Chains A and B, each alone.
Chain A
Amino acid sequence: MLFRKLFLRLCLALEASQGYGDAKAFTRNLLDNPRYPYKRYFDLAMILLVLLSVALLVYSVDNKEAPWMLWLEDFAVTVFVIEYIARLWIVGDMHHTIIEHMRQTEFLHLPFRLRTAMLEVLRVKWAYVISPLAIIDLLAILPSYRPMRLLRVFLLFRLFKLFRYSRSVHGMTGVLSERRFEFYTLAFFMIFVVIAAASSIYVFEGAMPGSTINSFFDALYWAMVTLSTVGYGDITPHTPEGRVVTLALIVSGIGVLAFSTSIVVAAFQDKLSELREHRVISELERGPLFTVICGFGEVGQVVASKLAESRQRFMIIDLQEDRVRLATKRGYLAVRGDAADNELLETIGLRERVHTLVCATSNDVKNVFITVSSRRMHEGLRIIACAGTREMARKLILAGANHVTSPSQIVGQIAAEFIGRPVAFEAINNILRGERDVLLEALRVDSDTPVCGQTVAEIDFPRRKLLLFGIITTREWSVGDVTNLYPLEDEFCFFFKPPPEFHIEPGDVLIIFGYELSLVHFRRELGAGLFRTGLR
C-alpha cells in the first residue's frame, strides 16, 4: 500500500518535472528523430564504434589482445548497454501511462490496480524488445557476458546494428521487405526442392559403400550447394539415379536463381526514385529553410534557374519521370511524386522546413488542390500559384494563395501596353526585370540610421541620382491631399510621391528607382539593409 502510494507520487513528480521531460525528449531526438541535427554525429560515432569492435574481434582470432583492446571492448559494450537501456526507456512513457490509468479508474470509480497499469506498460516495452532491431541490439551485447562466451560469434551481430545508423541501409531492407510475398513463395519452393533432392539422394546413395554422403545433413548440404549453382564438388553423386536427381536439381536451381535475382532487381527498380527521394530530403533537412516548386514545366524551370542563379535552396516536385530527370541533370534536387499528396508534403517537412511554395503545375485544378492542402498544413507559408485563367486566379486566392500569377493575364497586360504605350511599358518592364542597370528597390529604415527623422527634402534624392517612388508606412498621414495614399495589406499604406516635408521614421520602407551604383552608395550611407522578405 505504502509502496503504491510512493510509486504514484514518483510518477506524478516525473510528469511535472521539466528536466526529466527535456532529458527524455533529447534522448528521443538523438536516437530516433532523423531531423535532429546532432543525430548525424551520434550515428557516425556509433558506426565507428561498431566497426572498431568487430575489427578487434577479427584481429583477436589469431593474435593476442593487448590490454587497451580489452579496455576498448569494455567501453564499446558499456556504450551498447547504455544505448539499449535508453532505447527501452524512450519506448512509451511509463509514468504517463500509469497516471492515465489512475485518472481513468478514478473517473469510472473503479479500484486502481497497479498491476493492470504495469502490464500495459510492460506490453509496450515487450513489443519493442521483440522487434528485430532490438533483438539485434541485445545479441550484440549478450556474448560479452562471460558465461556466454560461447556465443562470441554473435558479436558479429554488431554489424547488423549498422542498420540503425544508416538510412540508406534502412531503405534497402525496407525495399526487400516490401517484396515479402515473392520471397515467401521463393523460399517455399526452395525448401521443397532442397528437401526433395536431399532425401532422394540420401535414399539412393546414403547407404552405398564409398559414398561421400554419410548423413542427411550431408545430403542437405549437397542439395543446397548444387541448387545455388555454386557446386563445390566435394560431394558428388556416383549412381545413375543420383545423377538424374542432380540434373533435375540443376535445372530448378537455375530457375530459383533467376527468380530471386528478378525479385531483387524489380524491387530496386521500383524503389529507386524513393531512395533518391530519401537522399534529396536528407540533403534538405540540413541548413536553412527552402522553397518548393511543384511542377517543373516551363514556368517552374524559369523559377528554378533563377533560384539556382542566386544560390537559394529549393526542391522540385513533379509527377513526370522525364522532368525529374531533367531537373536532376541540371543539378537541382528533385523528387518524383504528386504534390497534391499530403504524405509527400509531410515527408519533405512542409510544416517546418519550407518558407515558400510555388504551385506551377500545368493543371489548374491540381494547383488549387495543392494550395488548399498546403495552406491547411502550414498557416504561415508563402504560396505563389500559377493560374490559367482569371477565374482560376480568383479561386486560388480563395484557396489560400498569397500571390497568383497568370501567364495569359500577363500576356494581356503586355499586349495592351504594346498597343497603347510601348515606350512606357518597355521602361517599366526593364525596371521590373532588373535589366540594364536600373532597379526598383525597397529599403527599410531602421531605428538608428542617419536618415531617421529627416525629411524627404533634406535627403535630396535627385542629387543622389535616385527617384523616390513612394514610401510604405503604417503612420496615419492626413496632412495635405490623401489622394496619394494606397492601402496595402494589414495596416500598411503605400504613400506615392510623399511631399518634401514628409518625415522619415523607423519602420518606413522607401521604394526607390535608381542605378545600382547610386543605390549601393545610398544604402551604405543609410546603413539600412535591403528589405526583401515581406512587410514585417
Chain B
Amino acid sequence: MESSAPGIALFGYYRSAVEVASYLRSGDYRVVIIDDKPENLRKAQDAGYETAELDFRDDAELAKLGLGDTINTIFCLFPDDAENVFLTLSARALAPGIRIFSIAHGQSAVPNLHAAGANKVIETEEISGLRIWDIITRPIVTSILDHTLFGQANLNVTELRIPPGSPFIGKQLAELKLENSYNLILVGMVDQELEEHFVYSIAVQKTRLQAGDILVVIGTGDASAGLRRDLQPEWET
C-alpha cells in the first residue's frame, strides 16, 4: 500500500465515474478525469474536476499522461467491457507498476480484465444483486452497516499501521484492550509475517505485534485518531 500521493486517473465519465469521483474528492487525492467525448468532459468540468481529453486507444497519448509517474492508479469506468479491457491492457504494458481498478458488466468480462492486468475488478450488477440479497436475508445487519459504516454516522473502518519503534510492538492483541481504553473494536490485523494476509481478531489473540503490522479497527474518527497518536514512537510525541 503506497501512501505517496500521486494522482488518480478516471477513464470514462459515466455514472460510475460520477460516484467514484465524488467519493475520492472527500479524500486528499489529485483526480484527473479522462474521456474522449467533449460532452462528458464538460459535465466533469461543471462538477469541478480536473479533466483531460485524450483517446485512450492511442498509446502515445496515454504515455504523455505520465502513467506510473505522476499517476499511480487508474480506474477504467467505461460502460463497454471491451474498452475497459483494452485500456487495462495498454496501461499495464506502459506502466507495469500501476494499480488498475476496473468495472465489468457481466461475469464473462471479469477473467478477461484480470488477464489484462487489472488489480481489482468489480462486477457492478453482480455486486448490486448481492446487496439486494443481503437486504432480503439480513435486513438488520445491512441496515446497521448502511446507517453506520457506509452512512452518515461517524463510525468508520480504519487501518492503522504500526510504525517502527511504537510502544505497541511486542504486545499481544488481547492485552491492548482497545474496547475499553479507546472505544474501538478490533476487527483483525494484517500480520507482516503472514505476507499481507488478513486475520480476524477472534482467531488471533496471542500474536505479538510487530512494526509494519496493520490493525483494522471500527470506531469513531476521534477514537481511531487517538489510537493512531498512541501508536507513534514515544520520542516523536
Contact = CB atoms under 8 A, between A and B. Distances in A.
Contact of A415 (B101, B134, B143): B101
B36 interface: no
Interface in A375-393: 384, 386, 388-390
B147 A494 contact: yes
Interface stretch (A273-281, A320-328, A484-492): A484-492
A281 B137 CA distance: 24
A524 interface: no
B113 to A, nearest CB: 14
B133 A303 contact: yes
Interface residues of B, number: 76
Interface stretch (A13-21, A180-188, A342-350, A436-444): A436-444
A486 B135 contact: no
B218 interface: yes
Nearest to A440: B141
Contacts of B139: 532-534
A511 B141 contact: yes
Contacts of B123: 298
Interface in B202-236: 202-203, 205, 214, 216, 218-220
Interface in B76-118: 77, 101, 103, 105-106
Given A414-B122, A416-B24, A386 B101 contact: no
Interface in A472-512: 472, 481, 483-484, 486, 488-489, 494, 496-497, 500, 509, 511
Interface string B171-208: 00010000110011101101000001010111101000
Interface string A437-460: 010111000000000000000000
A433 B15 CA distance: 24
A418 B1 contact: no
B45 interface: no
A497 B150 contact: no
B60 interface: no
Contacts of B174: 462
A334 B41 CA distance: 42
Contact of B144 (A409, A484, A494): A494
A388 B73 CA distance: 25
A486 B203 CA distance: 28
B16 interface: yes
B27 interface: yes
B231 to A, nearest CB: 15
Contacts of A532: 137-140
Contacts of B138: 440-442, 532
Nearest to A388: B15
A255 interface: no
B155 A433 contact: no
A302 B75 contact: no
Find the residue from B18, B123, B139 having the highest chain A CB count within 10 A. Answer: B139
Contacts of A440: 138, 141, 145
Contact of B129 (A300, A465, A469, A533): A300
B27 A469 contact: no
B210 to A, nearest CB: 16
Contacts of A388: 15
B18 A428 contact: no
B192 to A, nearest CB: 12
B23 A427 contact: no
Contacts of B141: 440-442, 511
Contacts of B26: 416
Given A421-B157, A423-B1, A488 B103 contact: no
A407 B190 CA distance: 29
Interface string B54-85: 00000000000000000001010100000000
A486 B147 contact: yes
Contacts of A358: 132, 136
Interface stretch (A64-72, A168-176, A513-521): A513-521
A299 B125 contact: yes
A438 B20 contact: no
B127 to A, nearest CB: 5
A413 B23 contact: yes
Interface in B145-172: 145, 147-150, 153, 155, 157-159
Contact of B145 (A432, A462, A467, A518): A432
A413 B124 CA distance: 12
Interface in A4-60: none
B50 interface: no
Interface string B18-36: 1111111011010000000
Contacts of B155: 486, 496
Given A360-B132, A419-B8, A483-B220, A470 B144 contact: yes
B134 A432 contact: yes
A389 B15 contact: yes
A484 B103 CA distance: 36
Nearest to B139: A534
B73 A419 contact: yes
Nearest to B22: A412
Given A412-B19, A515-B202, A407 B128 contact: yes
Contacts of B200: 427, 438, 467, 513
Find the residue from B16, B21, B77, B103 having the highest chain A CB count within 10 A. Answer: B16
Nearest to A429: B127
Contacts of B135: 384, 403, 405
Contact of A405 (B122, B128, B157, B185): B128
A244 interface: no
Given A297-B125, A302-B129, A496-B155, A419 B29 contact: yes
Nearest to B31: A419
Given A419-B27, A423-B159, A535 B20 contact: no
A406 B20 CA distance: 12
Contact of A469 (B105, B158, B185): B185
B198 A426 contact: yes
Contacts of B187: 424, 427-428, 467, 513
A356 interface: yes
A409 B205 CA distance: 36
A481 B223 CA distance: 13
A370 B201 CA distance: 44
Given A405-B128, A416-B24, A427 B179 contact: no
A441 B142 CA distance: 10
Given A407-B128, A408-B19, A497 B158 contact: no
Contacts of B198: 423, 426-427
Contacts of A535: 140
Given A408-B16, A423-B198, 7 more contacts: A302-B132, A418-B120, A421-B216, A427-B198, A483-B183, A496-B148, A513-B202
